[in-house]
Amino acid sequence: MSSQSSSNGVATKLAAVSSIAETEYKTTTKDQCRQNIPTKKQLVDPYRQGSLVDGGVGYRQTVVIRSYEVGPDKTATLESILNLLQETALNHVWMSGLLGDGFGATHAMMKNDLIWVVTRLQVQVDSYPIWGEVLVVDTWVGASGKNGMRRDWLIRSHKTGHVFARATSTWVMMNQKTRRLSKMPEEVRGEISPWFVTKQAIPQDVCWKIKKLDDTAKYASTNLKPKRSDLDMNHHVNNVKYVRWMLETIPDQYLESHQLSSIILEYRKECGSADVVQSLCEPEEDEVPQGNDRNVLGKFSLPSDILGSHGLLGSFDMGPLRYTHLLLIKGEVVNEEIVRGRTTWKRKNTIPFSI
């Protein structure tokens, strides 16, 4: 082969590589333009009604409860609240100027093929906002050990300042290719540590030990299969779907008369589109008063005007106040845990009283 032919071949290959690179550049530029991802820190985002607060490290966003975010009682569902937590967290990273093209991953994380995964989430709900209500959501981050990050939220009424819900979570990094947990690289720590604060939304974060359920659990739903719509940008099932699977095992009659006041989730393994899931649920019956025992709070007795002629609120059969949950990936040999959970409940429209 002549040197001229060889040169022409190299030139052709270089032209092809250049063309591919140019196409990829144009695609990336077009996507970034559509997303409008900030390349540097910005204090106000008028499109999302969000702004940086607390000296520029916290994030505050004003939101309105939409019609598709409420249930039959016109109050926001737990799933809507969890989606709101996720959205404001991502918007916080967005405004920091650190967001890559990943699901909340920073530039250094993208460089190291790292993504965030949540290991623990705790939400406390005092009351639920209603359709059309305007909320203020505050979120911020802090250190959690050497290689983790804590993120907290506070959801308040824009009009009165009433706190609807508080939440705290713990996050670690996973290698996107190996799907194994990773230590936090120093360049990533250098990106996010200036944003760390020490305040907590739930000051007394009680780490309840959630027991593992087995096939003897009172309630179970089997053969649950994720849909494509259940997957997030990291290609695993979104944690909001996990909560839906958990709550669907609780009897409908109970859900009609009770509302969730707190939930604790401990994540063990990610779930993919090909997995078959089993949801187990066990009521904590040992904490439920039995029969017509009027001495319902240990040594305290409820007054007759609260109990009424037919017992507390017309019926003393309140049901359990707590449930333990477990999601499993059903395997041919071994079942793998996805997430353990513990939910606490209270009756709807209860008559307030003090002791």
Cα–Cα distance, 254 to 344 (Å, whole number): 12
Residue 308 dihedral angles phi and psi, to the nearest 5°: 75, 175
Placement of tokens 């249930």 in the chain = 71
Q: How many CA atoms lie within 13 A of 182 on its CB side?
A: 19
Cα–Cα distance, 296 to 316 (Å, whole number): 10
Placement of tokens 């909001």 in the chain = 240
Q: What is the DSSP letter of 192?
A: H
**Catalytically annotated residue among 92, 271, 281, 325:** 271
Residues 6 or more apart from 44 whose CB is under 8 A from it?
50, 51, 52
Placement of tokens 């799907």 in the chain = 179
**Catalytically annotated residue among 83, 112, 234, 335:** 234
Are residues 122 and 205 in contact, defined by beta-carbon separation less than 8 angstroms? yes
Q: Is 234 a catalytic residue?
A: yes
Q: Is 335 a catalytic residue?
A: no
**Catalytically annotated residue among 236, 239, 281, 325:** 236
Q: What is the DSSP letter of 350?
A: P
Residue 231 dihedral angles phi and psi, to the nearest 5°: -90, 145
Cα–Cα distance, 282 to 45 (Å, whole number): 44
Are residues 326 and 217 in contact, defined by beta-carbon separation less than 8 angstroms? yes
Q: How far is CA 264 from the centre of its chain?
A: 11
Q: Residue 136 forms beta bridges with which residues?
A: 62, 156
DSSP assignment string, 313-348: GG-S----SEEEEEEEE--SS--EEEEEEEEEEEET
Q: Is 281 a catalytic residue?
A: no
Residues annotated as catalytic (active site), given as ranges:
234, 236, 271
